[in-house]
Amino acid sequence: MNIGKFAFDAPVFLAPMAGVTDTAYRVIAHDMDCPLAYAEMVSAQGIHYCNERTLAMLSSERDERPLAMQIFAKEPVMAAEAAAFIEALGTADILDFNMGCPAPKIVKNGEGSALMTDPKRAEKILTAIRKAVKMPFTVKMRKGWDDAHVNVVELAEIAEAAGVDAIAVHGRTREQFYAGNADYDSIASVKKAVRVPVIANGDIRTFDDLDRIRRVTGADGVMIGRAAQGNPWIFRRFTHYWRTGERLAPPTMAERAKVILHHLDLLLHYKGDYIGPREMRKHATWYTRGIPHGALLRDKFNKATMREEFAAIVRELMVEAETL
C-alpha cells in the first residue's frame, strides 16, 4: 500500500499511544522492522502556544523514519496552523489527525472521538489541514460514538473528499473504550465505501488475528496498539509473516533481557536519570508479561530507580530462565 510517496510492502504499523510511542519506543519498533510508527498525539493548542513539553514531543531521530506525527484539535484554524508547523519543522514524514481518542479529558474539550458526533466540524478541520500542508495526510477514527450512532462510513467519505491519503479505523465505539471486541465488519464497510487505503486497527495480537482482520475487512494495512506494548517483536514477526507466510518463534528470554536494557538506555538518554527509570517501569512490566515468576519481577521493576537496579533484575530474569 502507499501513503503519498511512501510505499509499504508489509504495512504493519505502530499505532499512536500516549505515554508509549515516544522516541525511545519508536526507535526500538523500527529496529524490529516496523515500517511506520505513529508518534504520541500532540495538542494543536500546545503548538500554538509554544508549550515546551508539546514542542519537545515533535522531535525525532533519523533511525525512526519514516514517521507519522499525530495532532488533535477542535478548531480548523488551529489544526491547520499546527499541521503547517510540523511540515515546516521537518521531523515527520506523514501527518495524522486524531478523531479516535476516547479519553474523557480530550472528549469533553470537543476533540478526539468527540468529532465523530460533529461531522460538519470534522469536515472543516480536515479540509483546513489538507489546504495547509502538502505532506501525506491521514486520519484515525473509531466506529462511532456508541452503538446507536455508528457513522464511520459517513466520516470516512468526508475524510476522503477532504483529501486524506489514508484512513485508519479502530473497530470500537467511543463508549466501548477498549472493552468488548473490535467490529471488523465496520472496517470492511469503510473499505467498500472509499478508494483511499484503509488501515484496520483493533485486537490484532496473534497470527490468526492478523489473518482474520485482513480476510474480513479487506484492509490495505493494519495498525498494532496495545499488543505492541512490551512486544516490539510483533512487527518483525508480522511483517515477515505478511511477506512469506512463515510464523517466526517468539523472542527468547535473552532477547527480552537485551531489549529491556536497550529501552532503558534510550529512555535515560532522552528523558534523563530521574524520569527515564520511572517511565521504564511500565514498559518492563509489559516486557515480562506471561513469563514464570513475572509478578515478582514486576514488583521489583516498579521499585527500581537506577539502571543498576534494572540490570540486576534482568540478571535475575536470566537465571530464572536457565533453571526452567
Domains and CATH numbers, the chain: 2-244 (3.20.20.70), 253-323 (1.10.1200)
251 three-class SS:
coil
Q: H helices of the chain, where? A: 23-31, 44-48, 52-56, 76-89, 104-107, 119-132, 152-162, 184-193, 207-217, 233-244, 253-287, 294-301, 307-323
Mean pLDDT confidence for 313-318: 85
pLDDT tens per residue, range 22-44: 999 999 999 999 999 999 999 99
- pLDDT above 60: residue 20: yes
What local confidence, expressed as pLDDT, does residue 323 receive?
A: 53
Percent of the chain with pLDDT over 90: 91
* Measured CA distances, 253 to 50, 81, 98, 309, 317 (Å): 43, 46, 36, 18, 8
Structure confidence by residue, pLDDT tens digits, 221-280: 999 999 999 999 999 999 999 999 999 999 998 899 999 999 999 999 999 999 999 999
Q: For residue 116, what is the DSSP state?
A: G
Q: Is the dihedral of CA 168, 11, 132, 50 positive or negative?
A: positive
The confidence score (pLDDT) of residue 19 equals 93
Catalytic residues: 101
> How far does CA 38 lie from the centroid of its chain?
5
Lowest-confidence segment of 225-229, 283-287, 305-309, 319-323 by average pLDDT = 319-323
Q: Give the model confidence (pLDDT) of 162-185 as tens digits.
A: 999 999 999 999 999 999 899 999
Residue 324: band (very low, low, confident or very high) from pLDDT cuts 50, 70, 90: very low
Residues with Cβ within 8 Å of 127's Cβ and at least 6 positions away in sequence, in order, are 76, 162, 163
For the stretch 53-73, pLDDT in tens is 999 999 999 989 999 999 999
Q: In the predicted model, is pLDDT for residue 153 greater than 60?
A: yes
pLDDT of 320 reads: 64
Q: Which three cell numbers stand for residue 108?
A: 469533553
